[in-house]
Amino acid sequence: MKTFVRAASTAALLAAVSATLTPSASASEVGTAATTINYPQAQASYDNNPGNGRESWLWASNWGSSKIRIDAQHYDNSISYDLVVEPNQARSVNFNKDIWRIRYCWFDSRVNYWGCHGWS
């Protein structure tokens, strides 16, 4: 009987640990509101529950003098480079999967290069 009780206790402990190690629900499943991040001369927002039939929505406004790009990393680790915004413009895109995090990139026309901040 002691062996059975020990085995049952171990199984329960493993189940509890396993449950805490599983990935949490995505933002769209818990219904979070849009996340807005301010950058130098720009602002970006993303929403994993936009209410428009798509999984996620990404928007940016650029009031700087060079074009910017907002990259979206999804929960499957893929990255979308679809949101490029010209100076004094705003733009949005929709995706068929949730956004995990975003990063701000700016274009340096002198060297034809995109520089990027870290992920937020």
In this predicted structure, the answer to whether residue 55 has a pLDDT above a threshold of 90 is: yes
Which residues have CB under 8 Å from 75's CB, separation 6+? 23, 26, 97, 98, 100
Q: What is the pLDDT of residue 32?
A: 57
Cα–Cα dist 116/25, whole Å: 28
* Tokens 């990027």, located at residue: 116
pLDDT at residue 92 tops 60: yes
Could you tell me the pTM of the whole model? 0.71
How far is residue 49's CA from residue 72's CA, in Å, rounded to a whole number?
15
pLDDT above 50 for 8: no
Q: Coil, strand, or helix at residue 10? A: helix
Question: Tell me: the pLDDT tens digits for 15-43?
Answer: 443 333 334 444 444 445 789 999 889 99
In percent, how much of the chain has pLDDT > 70?
A: 73
